[in-house]
Amino acid sequence: MSYLSVGVSPGNVPVYHGTSLKVIDKRVRIAELVLRCLICVSGIAVAILVGTDTQVREIFTIQKKAKFTDMKALVFLVIANGIAAVYSLAQAVRCVVGMVRGSVLFSKPLPWIIFSGDQLIAYLTVAAVAAAAQSAVLAKFGQPELQWLKVCDLYGKFCNQVAGGIASAVLASLGTVVLSCVSAFSLFRLYSGDKFKNGGRW
Amino acid sequence: MSYLSVGVSPGNVPVYHGTSLKVIDKRVRIAELVLRCLICVSGIAVAILVGTDTQVREIFTIQKKAKFTDMKALVFLVIANGIAAVYSLAQAVRCVVGMVRGSVLFSKPLPWIIFSGDQLIAYLTVAAVAAAAQSAVLAKFGQPELQWLKVCDLYGKFCNQVAGGIASAVLASLGTVVLSCVSAFSLFRLYSGDKFKNGGRW
């Protein structure tokens, strides 16, 4: 008997009865919810830590102010993590609603949308971390060959706060990477052999 | 009848007989092979374009030489794409051997290893592109707030060749992203409902 044929309701919202299936699905849902909450909190932390970071220094009677918009990679980091936080919050609400209702959508469009969204967010957050980390290395150590100075020598407090933001961003991006695997599992397990044999499209 | 139970041989190397399954599996394998070849060629192109890039300029009788090792992000780009090229070549050979033999490994360890490797390579190449693109933007436009100069005004030919390398790296990373979805499909479709109901581990 196929997984997909267990108790399918007319509205493509099947309620299934296998105990093992229920336990596994519950675990997957809980893991998904925890990860989405983690990404949301980490994303907000990044936006706050980096987005509010400023430092003013006086150099030869001239006041100079460092802010995150001075580095495009930090702007990208804040935007990417802001998007990840909002997206994760919306998906967490969907998870909770699904858990309260106790039903599962087995129609393919929704798992495909969730999978695509999760993949996009995972690559977006990883790319943002990589770009920000590259900028942070340049700011910390400079690039003597190109006459790019170590700005962290001048703006130490600013750099430390950015480092905290990048650490949170690493946590968020690890969460999105694991989550993209969970949603891939939730989508592709629907493509069982029986489905192919019955002429199912993919 | 479960997908996994079709003609399983004692050595975990089943030969299955469903025509739809064969057609779908053949398409997946061809797509996988094409993508692996694309990544391999693009990765080699990146390594050659960026790794061999140099330019010498004379500034006030002092000779200055730009090379890719001056920027850590370019070193990371070359290493990441080199790894991706070698890994893709090895996997392409595995694909060809599988296609010639006409058999499929349905035991879980191999798909899990391929899936993990593909995921790792996908995130590695995307991170390398993001870091290199960030460095390229800094080199092209500078960062006046931090007194970082536009080095591309001085090393135009060097920067153009790096741009070609980054374009190839974007192509390679797109290939790895699509491929990670293909290997996720190949792995997780093994986790059908029947497998769970029979107490299969995951």
Contacts of B119 in chain A (CB under 8 A): 177, 181
Q: Is A110 exposed, middle or buried (0-12, 13-18, 19+ CB in 10 A)?
A: middle
Task: Report the SS3 class of residue B22.
Answer: helix
Nearest to A134 among B18, B66, B134 (CB): B134
A101 vs A185, more confident: A185
Answer yes or no: is pLDDT of A45 > 60.
yes
d(CA A137, CA A65): 20
> Which residue among A4, A191, A199 places its CB closest to the CB of B189?
A191
ipTM of the complex: 0.82
Contacts of A21 in chain B (CB under 8 A): 193, 196-197
Q: How confident is the model at residue B64 (pLDDT cuts 50, 70, 90)?
A: confident
State the first-to-last Cα distance of chain B, in angstroms, to the nearest integer: 20
- In the DSSP assignment, the letter for residue B143 is B
Is residue A172 pLDDT above 60, yes or no?
yes
Question: Angle, to 10 degrees, between the axis of helix A109-141 and the axis of helix B109-141?
Answer: 50
Beta carbons within 10 angstroms of residue B192's beta carbon? 24
Tokens for A23, please give them: 């336990």
Residue B119, class by beta-carbon neighbours within 10 Å (0-12 exposed, 13-18 middle, 19+ buried)?
Answer: buried
pLDDT digits (tens, 9 = 90+) for B131-159: 999 999 999 998 887 778 888 988 999 99
**Amino acid A104: pLDDT:** 59
8 Å CB contact of A72 and B137? yes
pLDDT > 70 in chain A, percent: 81
Contacting residues of A for B145, CB less than 8 Å apart: 66, 70
Contact A187, A105 (CB under 8 A): no
Does residue A182 or residue A109 have the better pLDDT? Answer: A182
Provide the residue count of chain B.
202
Q: Say if CB A165 and CB A49 are below 8 A apart.
A: yes
Residues A123-163: tens digit of each pLDDT: 999 999 999 999 999 999 988 877 788 889 889 999 999 99
- The mean-pLDDT minimum among A107-111, B32-36, B142-146 falls in A107-111
pLDDT, tens digit, for every residue of A64-97? 888 899 889 999 999 999 999 999 999 999 989 8
d(CA B104, CA B109): 13
B27, closest residue in chain A (CA to CA): A202
Residues of B in contact with A184 (CB under 8 A): 181, 184-185, 188
